[in-house]
Amino acid sequence: MDNKVCPPWVGYFLLNPLRRLLENPQKILGQFIREGMVVLEPGCGMGFFTLPMARMVGGNGRVIAVEIQEKMLSVLQRRALKAGLEDRIEIRQPGADKMGIEDLSGKVDFSAAIHVIHEVPDQVSFLSELWSALKPEGELLAIEPKGHVSQEEFNQTLTIAEDIGFKSEKMLFKTDGRRALLHKP
């Protein structure tokens, strides 16, 4: 495991209900996600954003939650079952160098990469996979924590995304981190 990856024990702290005061999933994602959408969440952890997104997509939608750590996924699976959302969430554990989302090519409406891009060793490959998975007019919301990612590092990520073909959109909300809405024309 890459030493940049958040260890599983931190996942329990990230589920703290008080986190919603700083990062309310409904306020952050509600303007982008609608019923019936296919949403991709790489680096889902234990599902702080996954479960609210599953509620937003409704019974006809789907959230594909991708996480490299088995422990995080097992907690997410238990939480989804307890919340009655297991039929809306597809859990995937990727391989060593790919997310395992090739079958989603052109099928994803929206992707939320929240606090994860800085943990990825190959951002070009990561963002290219997301690009391929998105439908035309699909959107990628990228949010990175200020404490881990400098503005310069975030700008480098945006440059990579633009080189792949993403276009930046104006953000309509505030978060405590670096953020960009990227659009696939």
Domains of the chain (ranges plus CATH)? 8-183 (3.40.50.150)
Q: Place 85 in a pLDDT band, splitting at 50, 70 and 90.
A: very high
Query: With 80 as the cut, is the pLDDT of residue 18 above it?
Result: no
Query: With 70 as the cut, is the pLDDT of residue 12 above it?
Result: no
Across the range 93-114, mean pLDDT stands at: 94
pLDDT one-digit tens code per residue, 36-50 = 999 999 999 999 999
| Distance in angstroms (rounded) separating the CA atoms of residues 108 and 84 | 23
Are the CB atoms for 144 and 118 separated by under 8 Å? yes
DSSP 23: -
What is the pTM (predicted TM-score) of this model?
A: 0.89
Q: What was the pLDDT predicted at 95?
A: 82
Q: What was the pLDDT predicted at 127?
A: 98
Higher pLDDT, 4 or 173: 4
Across the range 97-123, mean pLDDT stands at: 95
Q: What was the pLDDT predicted at 139?
A: 98
Q: What was the pLDDT predicted at 9?
A: 66
Query: With 80 as the cut, is the pLDDT of residue 180 above it?
Result: yes
pLDDT one-digit tens code per residue, 56-80 = 999 999 999 999 999 999 999 999 9
| Distance in angstroms (rounded) separating the CA atoms of residues 180 and 88 | 26
Query: With 70 as the cut, is the pLDDT of residue 110 above it?
Result: yes
Token output for 42: 């790489």
Q: What percent of the chain has pLDDT over 70?
A: 87
Q: Where are the alpha helices (DSSP H) in 66-170?
A: 70-83, 123-133, 151-164
